[in-house]
Amino acid sequence: MEIRHLKTFKAVADHLSFHKAANAIHYAQSTVSAQIMALESELEVHLFERLGRRIILTSEGENFYQYACKIIELAESARTSLSAGENPAGSLTIRVPESFCVNRLTPVVTLFRKRMPNVKLSFITCAVEGLVDDLKNGVTDLAFLLAESIQSKDLDVENLGSENLVLVAGPSHPLTKIDKVELEMLTEYTLLLSRVDCSYRRILEQMLQESQCEPQMVLEYNSVAAIIAGVSAGLGVTLVPEIAVRRELAKKKLMILPWPGNDMEVAQLMIWHKSKWISPIINMFMDTTREVLTKI
């Protein structure tokens, strides 16, 4: 089984097209077809099903895709590790909540870049949906999440600490004039919630659901910064990690509302797939994260 055949298979599987795959990896289409046929012959299975001009992965192809990605990743990691010596090169893809990336991960990245300046880092906004699959498929090397927990037999999870959650509103919001905000009162006002930093959003939604409370209006954003700006302008109320709004709180642009969830916390979770090979690059980023966060 040749690495080049695996790379060709991955290209065809990613594009679901022999023609597009050939263009992407700079092969003649006949070469791509020949390599896929050779691979299918060696494995004694059909990896693709041809439906006229369309192709789709067979169930065997879908299963083999996971192994192909891992083999390719191991081969590339071995090559870069051996050739780079004391200055390893490569890439690292990390899924991380925006608020955690902005307020906790910046010093981690700064120190990591000093230690491994030749490593390319790519950060993707983290959400719970699809996280397990992305880690399993190698789309994501490492993930961080702000949540109470995450349950999966396929994942290794390390608790790095905790973040306080606060319910906040702009200084002119009516709820800031109340001594104690009950959960039911939130139904009268607009909630600004995040689509991407959604793990702690679920906590608030679960509390509302258990109390049979329906918010008057929910505005959804892809950016935590946009939510903070909207709440500061008086658009409504939101639940966020306190660290994400510390500047606004200090400048009195936001106020913490006194409500039953004031002591609520979420864990800072570092997550990776159990079968993932922890390369020297990944290991260094994990160790750097532990080192920096323990000092905060």
Q: Among 153-167, 209-223, 236-250, whose mean pLDDT is lowest?
A: 209-223
Which residues, 6+ apart, have CB-to-CB distance to 94 below 8 Å? Answer: 121, 122, 123, 124, 140, 141, 142, 143, 144, 285
Q: Give the span between the Cα atoms of 67 and 74, in whole angstroms.
A: 11
Place 74 in a pLDDT band, splitting at 50, 70 and 90: confident
Give the domain ranges of the chain.
3-83, 89-161+267-293, 162-264
Q: Does the pLDDT of residue 82 top 70, yes or no? A: no
CA separation for the pair 227, 264 (Å, rounded): 20
Mean pLDDT of all residues in 274-291:
91
Residue 279 has φ and ψ, to the nearest 5°, of: -70, 165
Question: What integer best gives the mean pLDDT of the chain?
Answer: 88
Which is it for the CA torsion 8, 11, 17, 21, positive or negative? Answer: negative
- With 80 as the cut, is the pLDDT of residue 152 above it? yes
Span 272-282, average pLDDT: 88
Q: Name the band, by pLDDT with cuts 50, 70 and 90, for residue 142.
A: very high
Q: What is the mean pLDDT of residues 1-24?
A: 90
**pLDDT value for 204:** 84
- Can you give the pLDDT at residue 171? 95
pLDDT of 198 reads 64
pLDDT of residue 183: 87
| pLDDT at residue number 279 | 85
- What does CATH list as the number for 3-83? 1.10.10.10
Specify the CATH class of 89-161+267-293 in words: alpha beta
| pLDDT score of 84 more than 70 | no
Residue of 269 and 206 predicted with greater confidence: 269
The pLDDT tens digits of the residues spanning 34-51 come to: 999 999 999 999 999 988
165 three-state secondary structure: strand
Of 112, 95, 107, 221, residue with least CA distance to 146: 95
Q: Would you say domain 162-264 falls under CATH 3.40.190.290?
A: yes
Please say if the pLDDT value at position 101 is more than 70.
Answer: yes
Q: Which residue, chain included where needed, has tokens 């004694």? A: 44
Helices (H) and strands (E) in the chain, counts: 11, 11
pLDDT exceeds cutoff 80 at 87: no
Please state, as a whole number, how many other Cβ atoms lie within 10 Å of the Cβ of residue 9: 26
pLDDT at 213: 85
Q: Is the pLDDT of residue 197 over 80?
A: no
**What is the average per-residue pLDDT within 256-263?**
85
The CA distances from residue 92 to 104, 126, 172, 219, 231, in Å, are 18, 15, 44, 33, 34
Q: Which helix (H) or strand (E) holds 166?
A: strand 155-169
pLDDT surpassing 70 at residue 173: yes
For residues 66-85, average pLDDT: 72
Cβ proximity of 251 and 216 under 8 Å: no
How many whole angstroms separate alpha carbon 283 and alpha carbon 291? 12
**CB-based contacts of 170, cutoff 8 Å, min separation 6:** 176, 231, 232, 233, 234, 235, 253, 254, 255
* Arithmetic mean of pLDDT, 213-224: 88
The answer to whether residue 30 scores a pLDDT higher than 70 is yes
Where is pLDDT greater, at 85 or 215?
A: 215
89-161+267-293 and 162-264: same fold?
Answer: yes
